[in-house]
């Protein structure tokens, strides 16, 4: 039973019995519709071109709908053209207009075809839901076109008249764009990003701008996202980390053009300090050329080394501040014997591949030189006072979390840390142990604290440091590996020193019983639930499958990141969950000049078609309906009076 105060509050929205009743009817109708289609992506890693294309094309589904609707009626070439128009309406319209091809005839045929597609993709939604997705200025007309009976002669004339007048008053192009956007919007009902939007690829900022505009999206943070979130809070190690990774992939555009971070102080410092040093171990990998900020690879290598050295120092300082992180054996810059040019890691001595450290004082290796300190301060200011970056980071907070339970699926990026024996790994804070779901909730709260606690407070400092721990700490659920061997990769030749042991989770979660245990921990039923995981690239070409644990676990990092495509052999996955099935779309490397359709395989058929009533949204609607019924009863009993104007 709701309180009277609550019902009174509701009565503001539904002031009469009629208003409340018609909402009950509306919500009940929605319950009876098939559920909307959910899309899952992970590990986008700045690959904006490929990702935006997947999003606009609904990972091949729009193309499928076009074929379903028009095959044998229109030539394939025209189907492709229609598909491209739906994905990129403004761009394509501009091109056609320049060529004089977007004339009235073309507009008429195009509107007719788009309306047909729109009918197909809107068929499983209520009229009111579809209408809410339309731009208000065209809502009435689109609604009419979608529902006119074309077999009725009178209506056919009416239909043709509407289209004619749209073209006559010269809003045909705007109308076409509205229809294309509506089709896109209807095809993907909700979008889940299982982490790692940032790093490696060219423009994570462009991806964030797309996500910001998307109608329904949630994000489960990945280790790379957490590192950027930490950087935005001013965490020095995270700042160095995001800069180091961007420079190592030659991604200057995301920093300078994307976020407007001025790298000149760093480049001047690096050019001076490492003037004679070729910085061979730091030559950036070039996967994409910069469009706006081309930097000479020699200078980039110097910048890369400069920021890496600073990172190792400030990381060491964090580790010293936090013995509870149990990472003192990871302060490798202190384990260098500068006279002999060797470093000792876990009791084993290795020769250093680079012995030139002009800014490191062997007696105090963690101390920043004066210039390094000043440089870092400048960089910190540009991360902390960066409007666009903070807009994006706030969105990561408002739409993101460590994990999400949604329609009987458990979504997270990395892992639920486990021990070899299958028990959940713990983090102990103030004598309180956190493991499993409690650990995920604890980490989530810490991440919130890092951004939202007042600057300078003890909680805020502690939480900010913790953001770096999340990036690479052994018990971090977003990282899931025993150590991060960044230092070893730069300075040690022996590949055995580069190993990063995976948390036992990754072995144990291959078993159905482990997945059941995890699902249970998060309050989800064993039957019909799934875990959806990113983070670890699936090596398809070595025969690995993304479907694990008898279909309970989906590992969907298929390598959207170019840097990992040689490992996986494909260019990413989309997991698609509609009312009939769960399907995996496997993508080929993105080529803007070539149309390619993904290989789609259904991985699980639903026993019965899943209706809105069966979903989390359905449960919310049921609650709402019950509340509205109480409100109607309160009106009928006179406990609350109708507000009639
Ligand atoms: O979440 P991811 O993509 O696995 O990233 C973390 C990994 O990236 C690395 O830093 C290597 O990065 P690169 O492949 O970009 O050089 C590993 O040391 C670390 O385990
Ligand atoms: Mn990751």
Summarised one tens digit per residue, pLDDT across range 134-154 is 999 999 999 999 998 777 777
- Comparing 18-22, 57-61, 225-229, 357-361, the range with the smallest average pLDDT is 57-61
Query: Separation of 543 CA from ligand 1 center, angstroms?
Result: 22
Our answer on whether the CB atom of 241 is closer than 6 Å to any ligand 1 atom is no
- Taking residue 348's Cβ as centre, other Cβ atoms within 10 Å add up to 11
- Sorted by where each begins, the domain ranges of the chain are 60-188
Q: Residue 93, Cβ neighbours under 10 Å: how many?
A: 21
Q: Evaluate: CB of 486 within 6 angstroms of ligand 1.
A: yes
Q: To which residue do tokens 């019983």 refer?
A: 513
> Which band of pLDDT confidence, cut at 50, 70 and 90, is reported for residue 30?
very high
Which pTM value belongs to this model? 0.94
State the DSSP string of 440-489.
HHHHHHHHHHHHHSPTTSHHHHHHHHHHHHHHH-TT-TTT-BS---HHHH
Q: What is the pLDDT of residues 179-214, one digit of tens each?
A: 999 999 999 999 999 999 999 999 999 999 999 999
> Ligand 1: does its nearest atom lie under 6 Å from the Cβ of 413?
no
- Backbone CA torsion sign across 344, 346, 348, 354: negative
* Whether the CB of 246 sits within 6 Å of ligand 1: no
Euclidean distance between CA atoms 445 and 430, whole angstroms: 15
With H, G, I as helix, E, B as strand and everything else as coil, classify residue 496. helix
Say yes or no: CB of residue 561 within 6 Å of ligand 1. Answer: no
Strands 530-533 and 553-555: parallel
Residues 6+ apart with CB under 8 A from 171: none
CA of 256 from ligand 1 middle (Å) equals: 23
Q: Is the CB of 55 under 6 A from ligand 1?
A: no
Alpha carbon of 397 to those of 28, 95, 236, 400, 496: distances in Å? 33, 38, 20, 5, 38
Confidence band (pLDDT; 50, 70, 90) for 165?
very high
Residue, of 572 and 38, whose pLDDT is higher: 38
Ligand sitting nearest the alpha carbon of 412: 2
Distance 202 CA to ligand 1 centre (A): 16
- CA-wise closest residue to 168 among 99, 116, 108: 108
Q: How confident is the model at residue 166 (pLDDT cuts 50, 70, 90)?
A: very high
Element (H, E) at 521: helix 512-521
Quick one: pLDDT band at residue 110, thresholds 50, 70, 90? Answer: very high
Give Cβ neighbours of residue 558 (< 8 Å, ≥ 6 apart).
Answer: 537, 538, 540, 546, 568, 570, 571, 572, 573, 586, 587
Ligand 2 centroid vs 44 CA: distance in angstroms? 10
- Per-residue pLDDT tens for 272-324? 999 999 999 999 988 777 666 677 889 999 999 999 999 999 999 999 999 99
pLDDT band for position 157 (50/70/90)?
confident
At 338-356, the pLDDT tens digits run 999 999 999 999 999 999 9
């Amino acid at each position: 039973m709701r309180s009277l105060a609550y019902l009174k509050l509701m009565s503001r929205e539904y002031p009469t019995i009629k208003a409340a009743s018609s909402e009950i009817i509306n919500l009940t109708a929605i319950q009876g519709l098939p559920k909307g289609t959910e899309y899952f992506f992970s590990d986008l890693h700045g690959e904006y071109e490929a990702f935006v294309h997947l999003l606009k094309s609904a990972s091949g589904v729009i193309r499928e709908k076009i074929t379903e609707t028009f095959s044998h009626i229109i030539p394939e070439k025209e189907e492709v053209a229609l598909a491209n128009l739906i994905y990129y309406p403004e761009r394509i319209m501009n091109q056609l207009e320049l060529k004089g091809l977007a004339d009235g005839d073309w507009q008429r045929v195009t509107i007719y075809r788009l309306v047909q597609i729109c009918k197909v993709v809107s068929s499983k939604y209520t009229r009111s839901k579809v209408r809410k997705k339309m731009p208000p200025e065209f809502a009435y007309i689109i609604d009419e076109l979608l529902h006119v009976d074309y077999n009725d002669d009178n209506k056919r004339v009416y239909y043709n008249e509407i289209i004619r007048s749209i073209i006559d008053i010269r809003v045909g192009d705007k109308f076409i764009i509205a229809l294309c956007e509506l089709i896109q919007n209807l095809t993907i009902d909700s979008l889940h990003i299982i982490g790692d939007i940032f790093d490696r690829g060219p423009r994570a900022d462009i991806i964030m701008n797309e996500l910001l505009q998307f109608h329904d999206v949630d994000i489960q943070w990945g280790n790379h996202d957490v590192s950027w979130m930490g950087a935005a809070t001013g965490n020095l190690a995270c700042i160095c980390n995001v800069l180091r990774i961007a420079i190592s992939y030659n991604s200057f555009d995301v920093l300078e053009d994307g976020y407007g971070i001025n790298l000149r102080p760093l480049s001047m410092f690096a050019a001076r300090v490492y003037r004679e040093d070729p910085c061979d171990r730091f030559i950036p990998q070039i996967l994409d050329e910069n469009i706006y900020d081309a930097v000479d690879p020699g200078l980039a290598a110097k910048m890369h080394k400069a920021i890496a050295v600073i990172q190792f120092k400030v990381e060491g300082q964090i580790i010293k501040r936090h013995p509870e992180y149990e990472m003192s054996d990871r302060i490798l810059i202190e384990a260098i014997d500068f006279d002999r040019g060797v470093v000792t890691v876990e009791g084993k001595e290795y020769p250093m591949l680079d012995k030139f450290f002009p800014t490191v004082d062997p007696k105090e290796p963690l101390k920043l030189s004066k210039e390094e300190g000043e440089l870092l301060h400048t960089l910190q200011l540009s991360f902390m006072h960066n409007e666009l970056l903070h807009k994006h980071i706030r969105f990561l907070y408002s739409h993101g979390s460590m994990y999400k339970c949604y329609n009987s699926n458990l979504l997270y990026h990395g892992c639920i840390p486990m021990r070899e024996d299958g028990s959940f790994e713990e983090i102990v804070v103030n004598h309180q142990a956190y493991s499993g779901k409690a650990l995920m909730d604890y980490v989530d709260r810490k991440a919130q604290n890092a951004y939202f606690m007042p600057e300078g407070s003890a909680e805020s400092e502690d939480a900010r440091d913790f953001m770096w721990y999340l990036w690479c700490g052994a018990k971090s659920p977003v990282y899931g590996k025993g150590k991060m061997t960044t230092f070893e990769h730069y300075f040690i030749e022996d590949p055995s020193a580069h190993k990063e042991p995976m948390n036992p989770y990754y072995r144990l979660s291959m078993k159905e019983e482990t997945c059941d245990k995890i699902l249970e921990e998060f309050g989800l039923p064993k039957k019909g639930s799934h875990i959806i995981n990113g983070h670890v690239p699936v090596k398809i070409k070595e025969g690995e499958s993304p479907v694990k644990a008898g279909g309970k676990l989906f590992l969907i990092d298929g390598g959207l990141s170019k840097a990992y495509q040689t490992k996986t052999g494909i260019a990413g996955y989309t997991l698609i969950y509609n009312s009939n099935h769960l399907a995996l779309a496997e993508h080929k490397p993105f080529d803007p000049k070539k149309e390619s359709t993904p290989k789609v395989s259904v991985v699980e058929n639903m026993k019965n078609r899943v209706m809105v009533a069966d979903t989390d949204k359905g449960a919310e609607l049921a609650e709402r309906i019950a509340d509205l019924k109480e409100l109607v009863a309160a009106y009928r009993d006179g406990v609350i009076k109708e507000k009639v104007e």
